[in-house]
Every structure is written in C-alpha cells, then in structure tokens.
Amino acid sequence: MNFVQKYVLIFISAALVLPSVISISHIYAHEKIVVCDTYQDAHLHNKTIDCELCKLHPTPFLSFEIQNFNLLEPLVINKKFFNSYLFLSNYQKLSFELRGPPVSA
C-alpha cells in the first residue's frame, strides 16, 4: 500500500468512528452517581443538564429499511402496424385463395 493511501484510510476510518466516540463519551460525561443518605424524605433526583449536544438528535448511521430501486424500467414501444387485410371481411375470398392445389399430370 502506498504511504499516502495509508493515511487517507486512517483519516476516513477516524471520520467514520468519531461521531460514535463523541456520542458515547457524551453519555458518560453527564452520568453522576447520587447516593441517597436520607431515606425518610421523599425527594426526586432532578437532572439539570444545559448541554448543547443533548439538544441534537443524530440520525442513525444504519437504516434497516429495504429500498428498492428500479434502474432499468422496461421500455414500452407502441407501434401500429398497417395491415390492409384487417379491413377486409372474413367471408370475402381473395384471388389467391380461390386457386386450387396444383394438379400433377
């Protein structure tokens, strides 16, 4: 492999993995373990997070929807063939139909 190709490959793979790493590190950055010392009082653990990354809703990288693409659609050609015999009656005999089979002598 070429020297430049190795660095391009490393850069592209880092660019693909970086959003996942940031998302996972962001999850653990806001996690705080609160130990309740007083069980006698009724209280709630409120999360007061003012974080810009929490407001973002990233789209998933993988989409499990099956998409069908029709790249080659059949080409329909409507040709009208002119046939003079279509206009004649079925009962009208043509000149070549009036001949009989050849007679052998």
Torsion of CA 34, 37, 41, 44, to 10 degrees: 0
What is the spatial distance between Cα 32 and Cα 71, in angstroms, rounded to a whole number?
52
* Domains in the chain: boundaries: 1-34+47-56
pLDDT of residue 78: 76
Helices (H) and strands (E) in the chain, counts: 2, 0
The predicted-structure confidence for 85-100, as pLDDT tens digits, reads as follows: 555 556 665 666 666 6
* Mean pLDDT of the 76-80 span: 76
Instruction: Give the residue, 93 or 34, on which the prediction is more confident.
Output: 34
Are the CB atoms for 51 and 30 separated by under 8 Å?
yes
Answer whether residue 56 shows pLDDT above 60.
yes
